[in-house]
Amino acid sequence: MTDVQGCTQLTRCALLDAAVVAPPGELLLAVPAAATAADRMRAVTAVRAAGGCPVSTVEAVLAAAIGAGRAVTDARPYLVMDIGAGVVEMAVVARWRLVRARSIRYLPTVSAGHPDPRLPQYVQEQLAVELRRMLTDLPPRVRVPARARGLLLTGGCAVLPSLPGRLAAQLAMGVHVAPDPARATIRGLARLCLAPAGVREAVARPAP
């Protein structure tokens, strides 16, 4: 994120659309796990300026998993891949923490007749490769149960028709697409907002 002022204005518009007439007590912000400290600070600065309140951050891939129905307190490791516009994040999650995570950044493209961003072919070819590398780094006690539970797909590009089947064949594991995957992250943030304070504090990190 490079345009702090633009992000501030966009956030203000979102708050107005949500009929937020008074400063909220706190805002939750989903950020990519691979975001640098500088990226996080710029995003937090923009959102804080728009909301006039404290901001806490949540890894976007974790929020997506929660929005897809994973229990916040799930202690068993599981795999999630969030395929968004411009970045793909994959992670092993257990006890509301990222055990491992990898990211693929790319430039979204829009082609004639397809108003939505498309996932470039070279990125699709990297997905299984990067996930295998991430799994290789895991100890067997984490890798084996995570593989057994299959891969959860979230993000707008998770609905590509051939993608789940291709990943299942390449990875030799079950692949499941979340309901309404494009909105999984925002649903996860909403669930955290409504969760008991102790749960929210365990998952979200107050921004400095």
- Mean pLDDT for the stretch of residues 47-75: 93
115 pLDDT above the threshold of 80: no
pLDDT tier for residue 34 given thresholds of 50, 70 and 90: confident
Q: Output the pLDDT for position 113.
A: 57
Q: How far apart are CA 18 and CA 10, in angstroms?
A: 12
Percentage of the chain modeled with pLDDT above 90: 65
With 0-12 / 13-18 / 19 or more C-beta atoms within 10 angstroms meaning exposed / middle / buried, residue 90 is buried
- Mean pLDDT for the stretch of residues 5-16: 89
* Residue 155, both tokens: 């993000």
**What type of residue is 10?**
L
CATH 1.10.10.60 is right for the domain spanning 71-182 = no
Q: What is the bridge-based pairing of β-strands 109-111 and 114-118?
A: antiparallel
66-78 per-position pLDDT tens digit: 999 998 888 899 9
The structural domains of the chain, with segments of one domain joined by +, span 4-62+185-206, 71-182
Q: Are 101 and 90 in contact (CB under 8 A)?
A: yes
Which ranges constitute the DSSP H helices of 34-94?
A: 37-51, 60-67
Q: Are 58 and 192 in contact (CB under 8 A)?
A: yes
pTM across the whole model? 0.89
Which residues is 102 bridged to in the sheet?
Answer: 90
- Mean pLDDT for the stretch of residues 29-49: 92
